[in-house]
Structure 1
Amino acid sequence: MTGLAQLHSDIDVRVHTILEGHADWLCGKGCDGCCRRLAEIPQLTCAEWALLREGLAALSAERLQEIRGNMLAIRCQQDRPLTCPLLDRSNGTCPVYHQRPVACRTYGFYVQRDKGLYCHDIELQVDEGRLPSVVWGNHDAIDQRLAGLGESRSLSDWFEMDAI
Structure 2
Amino acid sequence: MYDKKTNAYGTCRYREHRITIHKNFFLCCPDLDHVRSVIAHELLHSAPCCYREGHKGKWKIYAKEFTEATKDYIHHYTIQRTGSMNLANYNNITKYGIYCQNCNKWIDVRYKRTSVIKNIDECFCPCCGAKALKVIDVTNKDIRELGL
Question: TM-score category by the smaller chain?
Answer: under 0.3
TM superposition score normalised by structure 2: 0.27
TM superposition score normalised by structure 1: 0.25
Higher relative contact order (CA 8 A, sep 6+): 1
User: Hey, which of these two has a bigger chunk of helix by percent?
Assistant: 1
User: Hey, which of these two has a bigger chunk of strand by percent?
Assistant: 2
Larger Rg: 2
